[in-house]
Amino acid sequence: MHIFRFVAAVAVLLLPLYPAQPVRAKSAMVVTREAHATDVGVAALKAGGNAVDAAVAVGFALAVTHPSAGNIGGGGFMLVRFADGRKTFLDFREMAPAKASRDMYLDASGNPTKDSVIGWRASGVPGTVRGLETAHKKYGKLAWSKLVTPAADLAKNGFPLSYGTALSLKSARNLAASPESKRIFQTNAQKNGDFFEPGDLLKQPELAKVLERIAKHGAEDFYSGETAKKLVSQMAANGGTITLEDLAHYKTVERTPLEGKYRGFDIITAPPPSSGGIGILQMLAMLEKTDFAASGAGSAKSIHFMAEAMRRYYADRAEFMGDPDFYKVPVSKLLNPKYVDARRATIDADHATSSDEVRPGDINGKESTETTHYSIVDAEGNAVAVTYTLNGGYGSGVTVPGLGFLLNNEMDDFSVKPGAPNMYGAIGGEANSIVAGKRPLSSMTPSIVLKDGKPFLIVGTPGGTRIITSVFEVIVNVLDFHMNVQDAVNAPRFHHQWKPDKLLLEPGISPDTRLLLSQQGHSIETVNAICEVAAIQFEADGWLAGASDSRVDGKAAGY
């Protein structure tokens, strides 16, 4: 027994001496959640495409190979930093249909129903196809059909399921609740209708036909053509709210990214309707004037201080954030140094603050969102970070008959009932209430870090409200704790979102640290995994280092 304890202790001490190694490439890199999609992205780059072309190809490929989050029935964000220094942010977030109304998901007693989470009424107007087309038309190089056809081929010919995807399909209850979803994703016709097993081919012929039409006719097929008409017909037959007019009126919005600084680095990140960029910049600013990192990564001191910064940011998020086209988000006030200093001053270095005692800050002084993420760099130095989503795993659970794609349940990202938690437990206020044509508040936070004016780190993740804290932690792991990008991504994560008043910890955080945090007053809850980051670091010797998350079956590849 004593020998075992000694060996275990030595093993723990030796682990930092052998850091996990990222995938390295000299010219270009693609990191995604799924191996086939990564290969599609690399092929687009090798064919002469740029990072935006690769991002479009990956987006369509993931709609086939990662059905729990990859999509053409959802929406998302694309952050681009061009080699010449230009920056842009494409918002193709879903929109509330024209028939949407503030209290549409409340029962007669005023309580939220499940209609915002599961079924036909849960879906906002999808933006992915329009968003990817907008990106290609403005910034791509390759022919559109060459970017969509690889996804169509994967859907038509099938691809072998990984262990994780097969298990996910088998266990998804919302798929089982939809006859069409169950038929496509949970019934293997080649095996007497049994569930799919690892290695089985998943073929999606209906989705293949949709992708073939999109390859030929562009986004117009999805928003006004044959696909649009079939989608709307099924919506009407099943009590959904999306109309042809909703689809026809959908537009991508190009926005200015948020920018900030941290310890001499420049941070480029997502603006509203993402709440994540403000969160990243505010939480980093709370850390900057402290010695929180002195005790090292994974210490009780560093976790405590970061968790307290998270707690204060999420209180602000609940009160002040929504779609900037409908609500004036007080960005400059929330990031004002004096305001951040005041928020930091309320943190007790030795004790957790009860969330009941933490309120949204006073901003009235003078001014001075199941998802997937992928990161891409091309040989010219253009960098793209894309996070897009169906919201929950497999979205609303509904696959459109005859079309083969899943619909989002993004309407739950609105404040269905201001003050009541959504499916991720997040509290929202009036700023994020439901209004026709409005885009729901998002946690998606694609981000790019610059060093001396050049790209240094590209990072993003899926995971609902946990996205923001995971991106925050990976940035801190690289910039403050000087980890290589693979170690930064693999490191055990933690999360606090104000309410519920719980500090979530992954199993890799030591028992001694857990005890110290508990003694400080944190209410600890263990969760198996928090998010799945895809990141790329630009190393000092000119190499690119790609990190797919060890928590999932992702792939980093380049050349």
Residue pair 86/450 in contact (Cβ under 8 Å)? The answer is no
Check whether 126 has a pLDDT greater than 90: yes
Handedness of CA 202, 29, 538, 85 (dihedral sign): negative
pLDDT tier at 3, thresholds 50, 70, 90: very low
In tens, the pLDDT along 384-415 reads 999 999 999 999 999 999 999 999 999 998 98
Q: Where are the domains of the chain?
A: 46-83+90-251+372-410
Distance separating alpha carbons of residues 62 and 68, to the nearest angstrom: 9
Check whether 363 has a pLDDT greater than 60: no
Residue pair 531/493 in contact (Cβ under 8 Å)? The answer is yes
Distance separating alpha carbons of residues 433 and 65, to the nearest angstrom: 33
Q: What's 152's DSSP letter?
A: H
pLDDT tier at 51, thresholds 50, 70, 90: very high
What are phi and psi for residue 455, nearest 5 degrees? -55, 135
| Closest C-alpha among 323, 349, 379 to residue 127 | 323
Check whether 368 has a pLDDT greater than 50: no
Least confident of 1-5, 68-72, 231-235, 322-326: 1-5
Better pLDDT: 358 or 52: 52
Peptide bond connecting 440 to the previous residue in cis, omega within 30 degrees of 0: no
Kindly give, in sequence order, each residue whose CB lies less than 8 Å from that of residue 511, ignoring residues fewer than 6 positions away. none
Percent over 70 (pLDDT), the chain: 92
- Of all helices (H) and strands (E), which one includes residue 249? helix 244-249
Check whether 225 has a pLDDT greater than 60: yes
What are phi and psi for residue 485, nearest 5 degrees? -65, -35
pLDDT of 18: 59
CB atoms within 10 A of CB 145: 13
Structure-token pair, residue 331: 């960005």
pLDDT of 415: 83
What average pLDDT does range 247-263 have in this prediction? 97
Distance separating alpha carbons of residues 72 and 211, to the nearest angstrom: 9
| Closest C-alpha among 504, 490, 386 to residue 445 | 386
- Of all helices (H) and strands (E), which one includes residue 165? helix 163-171
What average pLDDT does range 322-338 have in this prediction? 89
pLDDT of 413: 87
What average pLDDT does range 208-213 have in this prediction? 98
pLDDT of 367: 31
pLDDT of 432: 84
pLDDT of 362: 54
Q: How far apart are the first and last CA of the chain?
A: 49
Question: Got the DSSP string for 18-70?
Answer: SPPPPEEESS-EEEESSHHHHHHHHHHHHTT--HHHHHHHHHHHHHHH-TTT-
In tens, the pLDDT along 99-122 reads 999 999 999 999 889 999 999 999
Check whether 282 has a pLDDT greater than 50: yes
Collapse the DSSP code of 259 into the 3-class scheme (helix H, G, I; strand E, B; otherwise coil) and give the result. Answer: strand
Q: Which residue matches tokens 């002469």?
A: 48
Structure-token pair, residue 304: 């405590």
Check whether 69 has a pLDDT greater than 50: yes
Surface-to-core class of residue 260, CB atoms within 10 Å of its CB (0-12 exposed, 13-18 middle, 19+ buried): middle
pLDDT of 406: 98
Check whether 420 has a pLDDT greater than 70: no
pLDDT tier at 322, thresholds 50, 70, 90: confident
Check whether 478 has a pLDDT greater than 70: yes
Q: Which residue matches tokens 């709307």?
A: 232
Check whether 14 has a pLDDT greater than 70: no
Distance separating alpha carbons of residues 106 and 112, to the nearest angstrom: 4
Check whether 2 has a pLDDT greater than 60: no
pLDDT of 7: 34
Distance separating alpha carbons of residues 474 and 486, to the nearest angstrom: 10
Collapse the DSSP code of 331 into the 3-class scheme (helix H, G, I; strand E, B; otherwise coil) and give the result. Answer: helix
Check whether 6 has a pLDDT greater than 50: no
What CA dihedral angle connects 115, 116, 118 and 120, to 10 degrees?
A: 80
pLDDT of 426: 55
What average pLDDT does range 246-272 have in this prediction? 97
In tens, the pLDDT along 440-450 reads 989 999 999 99
Q: What's 376's DSSP letter?
A: E
Q: Which residue matches tokens 């000694």?
A: 6
Quick one: how many helices (H) and strands (E) in the chain?
Answer: 19, 19
| Phi-psi map region of 296: left, alpha, beta (phi>0 left; psi -120 to 50 alpha) | left
pLDDT of 365: 39
Distance separating alpha carbons of residues 547 and 557, to the nearest angstrom: 9
pLDDT tier at 340, thresholds 50, 70, 90: very high
| Closest C-alpha among 53, 35, 34, 37 to residue 45 | 53
Least confident of 78-82, 319-323, 501-505: 319-323
pLDDT of 390: 94
| Closest C-alpha among 91, 476, 52 to residue 271 | 91
- Active site members: 371
pLDDT tier at 354, thresholds 50, 70, 90: confident
pLDDT of 4: 31
pLDDT of 11: 32
CB atoms within 10 A of CB 191: 11
Q: Where do the DSSP E strands lie in 501-551?
A: 503-505, 524-526, 534-538, 544-548
